[in-house]
Each structure stands twice: as structure tokens, then as C-alpha cells.
Amino acid sequence: MESMMTCCRCWRSTGAPRRSSTSCSGRCVSARRRSRSSRTLSVICRCISSRSESRRCDCTPRTTGSKSGHMSPHHRDQSTDFISQAEVCFFYRHRELEDRKKIQHLLALVGPDPGEITYFHREPPHKVTVPQKKVLPRSHEESKGVKPRPVSAKGSKKSSREGEDATISEQYKRDNQTLLLQVEALQAQLEEQTRLAKEQVEALLEDRRIHREERQVQHQRDQDTVTALTDKLQRTQNLLHESTRDFLQLKFESRAHEKSWMLEKDRLLRELDSCQERLREERGFPEQPPPLSADVPLISQPKHESSHTHREEIRALREELKQAHKLADMYREQCVNLETDLSQIREEGDVGREIFKERSDKMANRLQLMTKRYEALEKRRAMEVEGFKTDIKLLRQKVKDVEKYLFKLTLNVGPDQDLAILHEVRQTNSRTVKVQSELKNLRAKIYKLENDLRFC
């Protein structure tokens, strides 16, 4: 006995992957069809299967009786009821087989739909239970008193039906075992798929975490470089300020020294003039003593010694004056050299800034120009690729149309159409030559564009 085909869509509701019909041991068939007639057909199949299930549930044989040869009238009525129920069941089963053959024939005509797959498995709706009465043990005398009855045809039918029921129950058991194995296999596949999905999600999360850490490290590194560069810039600015301050301080000090040297020179010149006047006065008036002054000390020695000392002092003062002049000239030259160096450095800095600014402007303009050219080339290349694709599609469509036309000509060819066919073949040859020339031109253009892009 074959069990009913019950539709199970649990695997689609749980989100399990779709399996082919071969994985379900030939019990899976496609239920949805490409058109409205196919959908109505699947609805009819489900209605027929549910109707047959309800009929099977209603007509399950409930047998009661004993295995003894003697049957009471009540038992005989039950056996007749069982026979009538069994006949009804066999009638419905025969009708079910016919309906199934019709369904298979319709499915073969319509064809399977690759969009949706419905799984069917063989499983009885309920286990058939056959309640039996417990046979009371009889005594030996009663067994002797009862005469053995000949076995009738109904008894043989009952035994044959019981054998069939036993084979059906064994077949149910085997089907249940196979279905359990299939369910276990599908559960294992589902677990494997879920495990693989979890592993994939974990791997993606790990990659995301690694990328995030790399971005954070790169950001930290960039921040460190920026801080280092800012510190370096600050140090250079501080050094520049210090150097300019030192230079200005040295300049002010040199000017102050120059002023002090000029004052010292004036003082020495005044002293020299005063000494010369006193010397002249001493030579002109030898009897008169020299006048007292704050700068020149009193001379209490003889004239010869005083003149000699004055000469020595004048000579020393002259030497000091010469040295002071030399130092002043040297310091003046140093100041002039430093000022020229500073002006030269400033000019070089200004020139370098201007050159750097010009170069940076040129590089920015060149970069903008190159980016615009690259974008224009990319846009042009995309448009040409789209044009080539459309041309190729049109050419393929033309080739298909030509093939269809030739096929129609070959189908509808007659004895009087040979010249027309030759004329059409000649025209198609000319068209094919044109198409080949166009294809060659397109290939040449493509190669030229590839070379241009390669050298760009």
C-alpha cells in the first residue's frame, strides 16, 4: 500500500536552503508553475491530497475479533462491516492512484517551475491501531465439545487482508525510518549551513574590527606626524625669533660701542689739543709755571723730565687713538658685512618663497588639468564601451534575424524560389562583408583607445 503525499513547506518557512528532488529520494516534485493554470493545478493537487487523507482517516479498518474458529453473530456483523469498509478503502485508494496519475501527467505537460520548489514526503497521517479483544482460555472439555468448522472463504479473505495489513505496517515502518533519516540529514545540513553562516559572520566582523584598528592606528600615526611637524615648526620659529633678537641686540650694542668710541676719540683729541697748547705755552714762557687744570697733573720736576714724560704720554695716547680707530673701522666693517648678509638672506628667503609659491600653483593647476583629462577620458571610454556594446547587441540581433529569415526560407522554399534565394544570399553576402568591415573598424578603434589609455 502506498501512503498519501502530504505537502510540507516547513523548510521554506524556517529559511532552510532549497534542495533538489533527487536529495529527497524521488519524493520531491515542483508544485508551483509558471502560469495561472499551473498554480490552479497545485491547488487541485493539495485539495486531492487533503481529501484522500480525510478519507483514509475515516476508512481505517478497525477490526475486532478473535482468532478462534467459532464466530458469534456479533463478530460476524463486525467482520461484514470490516469487509465493507475495506472495500470502500480499496475503492478510494484506486481512485487516489488514478488522481495521482492524472497529476503526474499534468505536471509532465506543464513542466517544473525553477522559481519555487515544494517538498513532499511520504508519511501516514496517523498510525493505524487495530484493537483486538483478549481471547479467554478455554478448558480442554469445551475444546473437545466444540466441533471444528470448515474454514470459509471469508476467513481466507480476512487472513489475506491481515497479511496485507502486516506488510503495510512494515512498509510504514520502513517509510518512517527513511523519513527520519531524511529529516536527520536535512537537520544536519541546516546545522552545517547555520554554522557556516555564523563562521562567515564572525569572519566578517573580525575583518571589520581589524580594518577599524588599522584605521585607528593610521589616524594615530598621522596625528603623531602632525604633532611632530608642528613642534618642529614651532622650534624653527623660536630659533628664528631668537636669531633675529640676537642680531638686533648685537646691532644695538655695536652702535652703542661706536658712540662710545666716538666720544672717546673726541675726548682724546681734546686732551691732545690741550697738551699741545700747554707744550707751546711752556716753550714760549719758560719762567711761568704751567696753569693748574683738572686733566693735567702738577709738574714738580725739571723741564727736561716734564717734556720727556709729556712726549711719552702723547705717543701713548696717539697709539691708543690709532688702535681705537682701527677697532672702530673693524667693527664698522663687521656691521656693514652683517647688514649685507642679512639683506642677502632676506632677499634669498623672499625669492625662495616666491619660487615655491609659483611651483605650488603650477603643480595645483597641472593636477587639476590632469584630473579633468582623466575624468574626460574615463567618461569617453565608458561611453565608447556602451556604444560598442549596443553595436554588438544590434549586430547579434541582426545575425539572429538573418538566421531566422534563412530558417524560414529553408522551411518555405519551393521549386520556383531558387533564384530568389540566390539573390537573397548575394545580398546577405554583401551585408556580411559590410558588417565584417565595420567590425574591423571597431576593433581598430578599440585597439587605438587601449594604446592611448595605456600610454596616458
**pLDDT tens digit string along 257-299?**
888 888 888 888 888 888 888 887 877 654 444 444 444 444 4
pLDDT for the residue 285: 52
Distance CA(279)–CA(312), nearest Å, equals: 13
Confidence of residue 58 (pLDDT cuts 50, 70, 90): very low
Q: What's the CA dihedral at 241, 247, 252, 257 to 10 degrees?
A: 150
Running DSSP on this structure, what letter comes out for residue 71?
-
Higher pLDDT, 251 or 282: 251
Under the banding of pLDDT at 50, 70 and 90, the label for residue 13 is very low
| Residue 52 burial by Cβ neighbours in a 10 Å radius (0-12, 13-18, 19+) | buried
Mean pLDDT confidence for 21-35: 40
Q: Are 143 and 30 in contact (CB under 8 A)?
A: no
Query: Quick one: pLDDT at residue 369?
Result: 92
Q: Is the pLDDT of residue 18 over 50?
A: no
Better pLDDT: 341 or 414:
341
Q: Is the dihedral of CA 340, 342, 343, 348 positive or negative?
A: positive
Task: Tell me what the mean pLDDT of segment 214-233 comes to.
Answer: 91
Domain ranges within the chain, ordered by starting residue: 1-64+74-127, 394-455
Set of cell numbers at residue 93: 485508494
Is 312 or 212 the better-scoring residue by pLDDT?
Answer: 212
* Start-to-end CA span in the chain (Å): 78
